[in-house]
């Protein structure tokens, strides 16, 4: 997902307004997941491991717009699942753009060329194409040959039609820095912006071996950034977030900065971690025990350095200390020397595992809904017959 935080004045204005209003917690980007179904099964994915009854569920267009209105974030990222599978996706995006939300539609691009007609180019709409690296690497990450070529072809087609396209890469352990650098060179050739984030260690992802720990993440990003000196890589991140990835800033995450809404409701506490659901955005903000999440506080957060938790922190840091942000952007990312001290992990609470419980709860709701719908249908049939 590409988030052009500082490229859009309206986002800067929104941040400033929140600061002036003295708000402690506010959302920057709504992570809207209108469905979990996908046409790929990537080994590092933690989003698609649900029974069919849940994978077949969709948020309606109205529910998507209501979520955007309720939350009020200036930007909406639409990951999934694969959003282009959703039959109403054109309608959903149109309604969000009408609301003047910046929309980042995240897609693996398999359906993108075919569905371009559903969309109209707009300064508010970005396609964010999932590309985890160069051809062999990407096809391996998504467990299917030919996906890289189709994604690149779709990027070119979308650009030719006047759409803004970015790519988003999730970085896993074992991806050599030299290859990541070559991949970033390719994004320059393609003329697209790029966002990169270390993969979050989803407990349900099929491949549990290749998630990066914090030390490896920082070292890897330092190596990559060192190779980028003088190049024109167009990152869709703030300088301070990149500086954090390179181990030069010690940040705590801001889980409410990118709240997630999906078919279960508002996800507690963040897009990466499903520890319960709230019915409304207000309930999410009021009832989540925010202090119990984050690196050093909760085992499941130990290695997280993902953009959705830390880009909002970097954005707030830049707002509070613009000179520091400016200095980092002038100096570039520091790729040698001592790193910022690591957060103390000795007091983190143990992980709780509630995935199955939530799935069972949702399945019984679905069964109840289906039974009620069948009953209503039967009653209507009976009254028509009478």
Q: Which residues bind ligand SF4 (CB under 6 A)?
A: 38, 40-42, 45, 47-48, 80-82, 108, 130, 142, 253, 255, 269-270, 272-273, 293-295, 301, 304, 306, 309
Taking the CB of residue 171, how many other CB atoms lie within 10 A of it? 24
| 153 CB-near residues (< 8 Å, 6+ apart) | 113
∠ at Cα 156 (150, 157), nearest 5°? 85
CB-hemisphere CA count at 13 Å for 250? 9
Cβ 221 to ligand SF4 shortest distance, Å: 17
Cβ 352 to ligand SF4 shortest distance, Å: 13
Tell me which residue has its CB nearest to ligand SF4: 309
Q: Strands 193-198 and 164-171: what pairing?
A: parallel
Cβ contact 106:77 at 8 Å: yes
Cβ contact 30:77 at 8 Å: yes
Cβ 263 to ligand SF4 shortest distance, Å: 14
Query: Judged by CB, which is closer to ligand SF4: 94, or 130?
Result: 130
Cβ contact 40:109 at 8 Å: no
Cβ 53 to ligand SF4 shortest distance, Å: 18
CB-hemisphere CA count at 13 Å for 102? 22
Query: Judged by CB, which is closer to ligand SF4: 41, or 354?
Result: 41
Query: Judged by CB, which is closer to ligand SF4: 29, or 227?
Result: 29
Q: Strands 29-32 and 193-198: what pairing?
A: unpaired
Q: Per 3-state DSSP, what percentage of the chain is helix, strand, and coil (rounded to 5)?
A: 45, 15, 40
Cβ 105 to ligand SF4 shortest distance, Å: 13
DSSP string, 124-188: TEEEEEE--SSHHHHHHHTT-TTHHHHHHHHHHHHHHTT-EEEEEEEE-TT--HHHHHHHHHHHH
Query: Judged by CB, which is closer to ligand SF4: 296, or 332?
Result: 296
Query: Judged by CB, which is closer to ligand SF4: 295, or 316?
Result: 295
Q: Which of 309, 236, 245 minimizes the C-alpha distance to 271?
A: 309
Cβ 87 to ligand SF4 shortest distance, Å: 17
Would you put residue 384 in left (φ > 0), alpha (ψ -120 to 50) or beta?
alpha
Cβ 265 to ligand SF4 shortest distance, Å: 17
Query: Judged by CB, which is closer to ligand SF4: 227, or 261?
Result: 261
Query: Judged by CB, which is closer to ligand SF4: 327, or 353?
Result: 353
Would you put residue 304 in left (φ > 0), alpha (ψ -120 to 50) or beta?
beta
CB-hemisphere CA count at 13 Å for 114? 8
Query: Judged by CB, which is closer to ligand SF4: 65, or 200?
Result: 200
- Cα distances (Å, whole numbers) of residue 334 to 43, 170, 178, 223: 32, 22, 18, 10
Cβ 116 to ligand SF4 shortest distance, Å: 18
Query: Judged by CB, which is closer to ligand SF4: 41, or 372?
Result: 41
Query: Judged by CB, which is closer to ligand SF4: 77, or 227?
Result: 77
Cβ 373 to ligand SF4 shortest distance, Å: 28
- What is the distance between the alpha carbons of residues 293 and 254, in angstroms, rounded to a whole number? 10
Cβ 180 to ligand SF4 shortest distance, Å: 18
């Amino acid at each position: 997902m590409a988030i052009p935080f500082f490229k859009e004045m309206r986002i800067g204005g929104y941040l400033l307004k929140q600061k002036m209003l003295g708000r402690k917690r506010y959302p920057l980007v709504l992570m809207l997941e209108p469905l979990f179904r996908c046409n790929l099964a990537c080994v590092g994915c933690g989003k698609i491991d649900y029974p069919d009854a849940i994978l077949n569920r969709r948020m309606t267009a109205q529910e998507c717009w209501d979520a955007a209105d309720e939350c009020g974030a200036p930007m909406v990222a639409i990951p999934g699942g694969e959003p282009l599978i959703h039959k109403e996706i054109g309608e959903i995006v149109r309604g969000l753009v009408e609301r003047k939300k910046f929309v980042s539609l995240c897609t693996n691009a398999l359906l993108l060329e075919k569905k371009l007609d559903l969309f109209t180019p707009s300064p508010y709409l970005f396609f964010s194409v999932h590309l985890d690296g160069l051809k062999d690497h990407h096809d391996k990450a998504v467990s299917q040959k030919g996906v890289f070529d189709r994604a690149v072809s779709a990027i070119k087609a979308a650009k030719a039609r006047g759409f803004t396209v970015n790519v988003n890469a999730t970085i896993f352990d074992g991806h050599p820095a030299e290859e990541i650098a070559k991949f970033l060179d390719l994004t320059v050739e393609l003329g697209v912006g790029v966002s990169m984030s270390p993969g979050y260690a989803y407990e349900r992802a099929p491949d549990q071996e290749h998630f990066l720990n914090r030390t490896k993440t920082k070292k890897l990003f330092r190596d990559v950034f060192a190779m980028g000196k003088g190049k024109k890589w167009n990152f869709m991140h703030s300088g301070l977030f990149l500086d954090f990835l390179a181990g030069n800033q010690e940040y705590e995450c801001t889980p409410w900065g990118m709240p997630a809404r999906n078919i279960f409701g508002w996800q507690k506490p963040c897009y990466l971690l499903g520890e319960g659901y709230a019915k409304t955005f207000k309930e999410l903000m009021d009832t989540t025990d925010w202090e119990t999440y984050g690196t050093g506080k909760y085992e499941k957060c130990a290695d997280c350095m993902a953009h959705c938790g830390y880009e909002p922190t970097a954005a707030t840091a830049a707002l509070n200390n613009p000179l520091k942000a400016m200095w980092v952007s002038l100096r570039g990312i520091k790729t040698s020397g001592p790193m910022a001290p690591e957060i103390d992990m000795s007091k983190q609470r143990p992980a709780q595992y509630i995935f199955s419980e939530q799935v069972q709860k949702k399945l019984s709701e679905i069964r109840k809904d289906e039974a009620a719908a069948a009953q209503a249908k039967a009653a209507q049939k009976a009254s028509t017959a009478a």
